[in-house]
Structure 1
């Protein structure tokens, strides 16, 4: 063998060994990650868990554990879809920001002019309640009268409408409010003339190549993950079939600009963890995903910018305690026993989506303790 051939053979062998070493290291890393996640699931009585991790614009890890449905013992897969609860709010704002960019709407608009009835805190009747306030939970509106119909806050429909407002001046303090986001979905319909669920699908989901939606009957029901409410008194789980209530009769009688809460702009999106990670990446990349721009950089920055004292912006919140010492932007969800979280670091370009369909772990400071453990594990094993 000539000296050149020996050199080339040695170089090729070293390259092969290097690739093999990286592959084995990756497998060991994945095995460690999965062992940690399985231990967290056992610690917090998690029925199922689906996760996705993004680095530099790419999903680098996605995995599902546990059960999709306890009764049938079906395993959970990455293809299965959950009702993701309040992370849905960011889809509503993303859609509205498109209208802001088109000049059809302003964040400083008086909400009263958009919803069709007066929206004023009776204690501060001269203070305009703006769309920005409503989308940042600083409008002084609350959910005390319910949020499944806008009649609860309409002075002409509810004699107790004033109870929908808190004692403080609009724009000065924060209270999480689902009613405000159902109102926001109604505003989108009134401006576009397009049904809320269909607008979001056409203008946000389809351009991103994402499977999901607010309308149950537009989706493959065989992919729905059963959600389980935990009862601490009996230490037991109960399925929540109402999470996927199709509400067909209400949709048949749908009134544009009024019936919007049927689709729950505040919490009704259904989607898989990997697809939610793709959507998250769009926000992490300031409104663009793989060459497709959904909103402008300015709109993306506005959504992520802190408005409320707790770090909440426009359906995205800056969270500084989820991973100690790390600032993340995102949102959580909690409904029907499901807990979800979507958080990313826009500077370092990594992020996490974690969803469980049932756990005994409680929610503290607007995020679930089990999901916090999962995110910290993913950060430790795959990012740090």
Structure 2
């Protein structure tokens, strides 16, 4: 979005006001301990905020500087490191794994013939986590290098290579070994020097940093299998850091994402970025057959908006980062619970930003005829009225309604839904205390009014929406009764 007109940038910045309000409510409603969020466009971090609690045992508030285990985001770092080495002529995509990890060939493992390209795109048919992967529940330590090789040689080949997409943490861990050998060091050292330090990511690293343990957001169990959340400790992922070991913050993650925009050559050429962000496999989900996986990247479409990135699931943390490499837009959401809604929140932010841009005035084709069913816009009110005087969050027995501004226009929607702007009420100003519903769900009150009651200072006391009375949410909760 570095080349976007100023009007578009201003529209997105305006929309971040509602992004903030919606996130605050969603994190509370979903009973998520905490969420850390950052948004990047127009060449910089435009939004960075934390919601909720870092650690339920201590009650410490979550901040934008708390560290999160970002788990499978590590695969994007690994794929970036791999392509750097390919560009430097130190590694080839068609190199067999056995050429770099001779233990595979010595053991007679079919994985010796698996190529670097197959490992980075989950095309090698490699076992996902091993026969005994209880390390994901902290029942035992994550595998070291010796155990990783034992898993790979004993149980590693599960599916025919290139036959299908088969996600594999073991495969990416082997890729990490290959990257380290090609770099002449270790994966962790190379990633730290060639990516983390090069981008100046002060709160990012390839593995748990014991010296900074107090800075990590607490991980928490979910509510699907237990009645109360419990704090989960952080552990070292050892030989699996290329698959799942990284830590970071939302701000650092959108900075990392920005280095994958086209035209940015800090880490990779555009040619390599094209290859990395192009889907090798599609059709993993029958509901979204166009979505897919590239080299350490996922490709998802949201209402036609193509976003590249990755998600991460670590014991106690669920995370999601996505970016549009053409527009220069990046979103990162890090949550600190096994059932954290990182994907839902990130997708909701994107929908709000995209909706704001849709609102921009358009020049429709006209047949010259008049639609007698159309709602005529109200006459312009006498004098200028500040749209902000209508905004807020209102509550009653049947739920919550937000009134907010997108693209310089007023809308209303419930923040309780994961997609808050799919079919919002479109509102037009009648006078200082009245709005008309110009569009929205046909099951709603289209054509009817929002009527505000105010005190002598202009403070909103209540709001009638289609005949139903609501109150500012703080006032409604202070009543201590729902009826």
**Is this a same-fold pair by TM over 0.5?**
yes
**Structure-2 residue corresponding to 1:332:** 311
**Structure-1 residue corresponding to 2:226:** 234
Contact 2:313 2:338 in 1 (8 A): no
Matched, 1:42 2:34: no
Structure 2: unaligned runs, 5 residues or longer:
1-8, 134-141, 284-291, 360-483
Contact 2:207 2:236 in 1 (8 A): yes
**Structure-1 residue corresponding to 2:408:** none
By how many angstroms is 1:67 displaced?
0.9
- How does 1:62-77 map onto structure 2 within 5 Å? 62-77=48-63
Change in Cα spacing, 1:173 to 1:127, as seen in structure 2 (3 Å) is farther
Aligned to 2:49, the other structure's residue is in SS state: strand
Aligned to 1:54, the other structure's residue is in SS state: strand
**Structure-2 residue corresponding to 1:220:** 212
Structure 1: unaligned runs, 5 residues or longer:
1-21, 248-259
Contact 1:150 1:179 in 2 (8 A): no
Cα RMSD (Å): 3.1
**Paired residue for 2:269, among 277, 290, 296?**
296
By how many angstroms is 1:369 displaced?
4.0
**Structure-1 residue corresponding to 2:93:** 107
By how many angstroms is 1:348 displaced?
2.4
CA distance, structure 1, for counterparts of residue 358 and residue 59 of structure 2 = 33
Change in Cα spacing, 1:161 to 1:105, as seen in structure 2 (3 Å) is closer
Change in Cα spacing, 1:300 to 1:28, as seen in structure 2 (3 Å) is closer
Superimposed CA distance per residue, residues 25-44 of structure 1 (whole angstroms, 9 cap, x where no aligned partner): 99974442222112211232
- For these two proteins, the number of residue pairs brought into alignment is 332
Matched, 1:358 2:337: yes
Change in Cα spacing, 1:357 to 1:376, as seen in structure 2 (3 Å) is farther
Matched, 1:192 2:176: no
Matched, 1:171 2:157: no
Contact 1:318 1:330 in 2 (8 A): yes
Higher helix share: 1
**Structure-2 residue corresponding to 1:307:** 280
Superimposed CA distance per residue, residues 255-278 of structure 1 (whole angstroms, 9 cap, x where no aligned partner): xxxxx61x6111111111101110
- How does 1:128-207 map onto structure 2 within 5 Å? 128-142=113-127, 143-145=129-131, 146=133, 148-149=143-144, 151=146, 154=149, 157=150, 161=153, 163-167=155-159, 169-207=160-198
CA distance, structure 2, for counterparts of residue 183 and residue 309 of structure 1 = 24
By how many angstroms is 1:118 displaced?
2.9
Rg bigger for which structure?
2
Change in Cα spacing, 1:229 to 1:382, as seen in structure 2 (3 Å) is farther
Change in Cα spacing, 1:227 to 1:219, as seen in structure 2 (3 Å) is same
CA distance, structure 1, for counterparts of residue 50 and residue 355 of structure 2 = 19
CA distance, structure 2, for counterparts of residue 161 and residue 209 of structure 1 = 38
Bigger RCO of structures 1 and 2 (CA < 8 A, at least 6 apart): 1
**Paired residue for 1:80, among 56, 66, 69?**
66
Change in Cα spacing, 1:383 to 1:179, as seen in structure 2 (3 Å) is farther
**Paired residue for 1:275, among 252, 267, 286?**
252
Change in Cα spacing, 1:371 to 1:297, as seen in structure 2 (3 Å) is closer
Contact 2:297 2:308 in 1 (8 A): yes
TM-score, normalising length: structure 1: 0.77
Aligned to 1:88, the other structure's residue is in SS state: helix
Matched, 1:344 2:323: yes
Greater shift, 77-86 or 142-151, is seen at 142-151
CA distance, structure 2, for counterparts of residue 151 and residue 87 of structure 1 = 24
Contact 1:40 1:374 in 2 (8 A): no
Contact 1:152 1:161 in 2 (8 A): no
TM-score, normalising length: structure 2: 0.62
Change in Cα spacing, 1:361 to 1:203, as seen in structure 2 (3 Å) is closer
